[in-house]
Chains A and B, each alone.
Chain A
Amino acid sequence: MKKNRMPILLLLIDNLIWVILVVVVALFSIFNSRYLTEPNLVDILVTASVLGILVVGQTFVLITGNFDLSAEGVVGLSAGIAVWLQGAAGQPTFGSGWHVNVVFAFVALFAVGAATGTINGFLITKVKMNNFIVTLAMMIVLEGMLPALSTGSTMSGAPASFNWLGTATIGTFPICGIVLIITFVGAHLVLKHRPFGRDLYAIGGNPQAAFASGINPNRRVYQAYIISGILAAFAGLILEGQVQSVPADLGNGMIFMVFAAAVIGGISLQGGRGNIIGAFGGVLLLAAITDGLNLLAVDVYFTSIIEGLIILAAVFLDTQKTRLHRIVEGKRAIQALHDAAMAAGEAVAIPPL
């Protein structure tokens, strides 16, 4: 009873994402010998870094059973405001910024993320507005604010210190890859090993039971949105560093990949289920696919079609995973009952009264 013995089948089912990742990498490396080389693997990691950090932030919100669509809006606007404040080239609406110190630019960048999370959290937990619509509207607003600020032009000219996270390497290893790994490890520790993370899971699994167990679901959901906002701003910082500029549509459309990676990685959209390590697998898988198709010089339109189909296939496998899990767990539960020689049956099916 106390030993935690997982049958091999269950172990494979639970780690399906890594099995798929290995298969996909193997396939690409058969088609293109350059796929499994160091420069390309670094490319994959760079692609994964921005997506991955957004997925971490989104995971905090998804686990509570909520959505944060506004994250992709934060990516562009936070980077845009920070670059503009430092005196951007291009044709910004309000002149070329205030030429502020880079430290202040960092503060402003994260403040945009935190403020967005705070507004989301307030409208959702206090005003009780629907989380999907609130964050959708917020996304639309933010994505309008960036071109309003930049007059639709591409802003650039941030100092190297601001772009450092997106561009620097140690040897050939990109700093953003290290940042990605640190973010995932940190999120894993918080979600799995801190009361805060356990609270989020409980809220997503059953908010009323969480409340009755002494958790304040509103406060926690609020906090999850702020975390998501701040991490989205962080992703914006890295993306700006990678492209060395802020186009008027920076970040637009990324949220679909974020959701895809999280769901492929086993994060339940109903909340309460899924772990950050699986989500990391989902991020790597999507980055590996994007990079592979790029390397094979697949036409950009077909890339989109193929990515969509692969996401469908992965999520299909995931539903099968849940089904298999139920079967195996059910068998084990029955076995446990037999082991305990439970003579008496169950009366749970009888409705009250």
Chain B
Amino acid sequence: MSVQTADSAVVMRGIVKTFSGVRALDHVDLEVRTGEIHGLVGKNGAGKSTLVSILSGFYPPNEGEITCGGKTVSAVGPDQAKGLGIAIVPQQVHVVSGLSIAENVFCGELPLTRLGFVDWRRIRREAMEQLALINIDIDIDRTVESLSVSERQMIDIARAFSRDAHVIILDEPTASLPKDEVKMLFGFVREMCKRGVSFIYISHFLEEVFELCDRVTVLRNSRVVGHFDVSELDVRRLVQLISGQDIARFGRKRREAHERPILEIEDVTRPGAYEKVSFTVHAGEIVGLSGLEGSGKSELVRGLFGLQPMGEGAVRVDGRPYRAKAPEEALAQGVAYLPRDRYGLGIVPVRSVAENVGLCVLRKVTNRLGFISRKVERPLVEGYVDMLQIKISNLDQELQFLSGGNQQKVVFAKLAATKPQVLLLEEPTQGVDIQAKEEILRIVVSMAGDGVAVVVVSDVIDELLDICDRILVMHRGVMVAEFDPDDQGTSGADIMLAIEGNLAPR
């Protein structure tokens, strides 16, 4: 156990956090020195967000202590983070877009005159001083709406600075930034460091970590893998640390050859999202599709399903020309889609299991008079509930009362009921428990076994390696690599490198 030294800005020691019995953080340590930019990296679900959420007081840890500004506490209270000088700049920047920049810098604590009115002169003067102090040259009377994303982030950082924050957490700040704005933001962050502010920098873009950070902490499976000086690492080593070495295979028996092409995509292009993407998925084949956020992988499947415009290019489903302007049309042509956002797009939480399972196929279970036939509907729903082992007390139970894993299985049942030829899955195991994860992967494999062409969009490389016949990688809208999980030379680290945009010499 290290003792906080004079140059530590914040020290977290032995942090444990469990959610309903699942360890999200397991004795995690983190030390950020004064004036350093400290990278925090790991796969989705490794615990990065949980750790910074604890640091910024969103929730208390189960164990561990936090030392900051000379004070040691067991938990940062929701209102304490500000007092301790900790601030977070989230991915979606918390600015009030209709207000002026000056107002945003002070938002939440507008200084008042003696009469209790807002002291506008003081706000404008001090906002101008704040921005001058940190070398931002923006007219403070502009509304925030008129700013670019990076400018907004800088305003947010300025706001944190105006409240005497000396540890500022940046959560994926560059995910939606064009390159020149990234440069601007980095320059700004370095400038702030010289003034003694420390940064915790979370990013999936590893090249940025090398460019910006002094030290880096790697998290994997809720534990710390290690703390490193960036100078002692290279990209390949970092990817290995992030992904881990051992990859457990699902042990799926793959078919020798998939002959019948079901989903054929040819030169599909939507400017700004993806460019000249071509691939074919055969009957019974599972193709993994991975890439960073914004690589075009999600946009592609959503475009195919008609949730977004698909753009130019030729698509065929089982030999027939295919195009869907809405999900309705996609489903009618045998294409089903499992959304990443289960609560937003997947389920109707206030309706029953039966209604949710039947949602896509209602029209096919009606009798001659157009009424839904209970005699057809109930056995259909029960069949899927049994087959997918969905744990419910009765078919009329509302979906909101089910666990995440069972909700996800209901979505699978809904899709399976449409008897699709093509199944597009986006992050199928996100937000479900470990046991359900395995069951869901089994469902995917068994649906492929019935001759469905499956595309799995996922960040979880281990799972893709387990179940896929091929893994495709997209980077900045372009298909950049294809991997064969059966090839002995294929490793998770290679795929991670490709995802990062660094193609391994093969």
Contact = CB atoms under 8 A, between A and B. Distances in A.
Contacts of B436: 344
A331 to B, nearest CB: 10
A206 B348 contact: yes
Interface stretch (B140-148, B393-401, B444-452, B470-478): B393-401
B50 A213 contact: no
A345 B307 CA distance: 33
B431 A347 contact: yes
B431 A350 contact: yes
Interface stretch (B18-26, B190-198, B245-253): B18-26
Contact of B44 (A5, A342, A343, A353): A353
A198 B355 contact: yes
A133 B141 CA distance: 33
A340 B339 CA distance: 27
Q: Which of the listed residues A213, A337, A340, A344 has the most CB atoms from chain B within 10 Å of its own CB?
A: A213
Interface in A319-337: 329-330, 332-333, 335-337
A198 B358 contact: yes
Contact of B433 (A5, A189, A198, A347): A347
B363 A195 contact: yes
B349 interface: yes
B327 interface: yes
Contacts of A351: 49-50, 53
Contacts of B273: none
Contacts of B271: none
B393 A332 contact: yes
Contacts of B363: 195
A170 interface: no
A336 B391 contact: yes
Contact of B344 (A2, A5, A209): A209
A2 B359 contact: no
A138 to B, nearest CB: 28
A121 interface: no
B267 interface: no
Interface stretch (B3-11, B177-185, B311-319, B366-374): B366-374
A352 to B, nearest CB: 6
Interface string A219-246: 0000000000000000000000000000
A201 interface: yes
B339 A212 contact: yes
A216 B328 contact: yes
B391 A340 contact: yes
A353 B22 contact: no
A350 B403 contact: no
B417 to A, nearest CB: 11
A346 B392 CA distance: 16
Given A194-B370, A209-B345, A214-B327, A353 B172 contact: yes
A250 B393 CA distance: 50
Secondary structure dominating the interface of A: loop
Contacts of A206: 344, 347-350
A348 B393 contact: no
A211 B172 CA distance: 30
Contact of B331 (A214, A337, A340): A214
Contacts of A337: 391, 403
Nearest to A211: B327
Given A337-B403, A353-B49, A212 B393 contact: no
B355 A346 contact: no
Given A350-B50, A353-B49, A201 B372 contact: no
B360 interface: yes
Interface in A5-19: 5
Interface in B289-318: 305, 307
Given A202-B348, A352-B430, A213 B360 contact: yes
Interface in B18-76: 19-22, 24, 44-45, 48-50, 53
Interface in B239-270: none
Q: Among the interface residues A202, A273, A343, which one has the most CB atoms of the partner chain B within 10 A?
A: A202
Contacts of A216: 326, 328
Given A205-B348, A212-B327, A350-B49, 15 more contacts: A1-B392, A198-B358, A206-B347, A206-B348, A209-B346, A213-B327, A213-B360, A215-B359, A272-B348, A332-B393, A344-B434, A346-B19, A346-B404, A347-B19, A347-B45
18 contacts: A195-B363, A206-B344, A206-B347, A210-B359, A213-B327, A213-B331, A213-B360, A213-B414, A215-B359, A329-B401, A332-B401, A344-B22, A345-B20, A346-B21, A346-B403, A347-B434, A348-B19, A352-B430
Kindly list the 4 A-B residue pairs having the minimum CB-CB distance in the complex, ordered from nearest. A345-B21, A205-B348, A348-B404, A195-B362
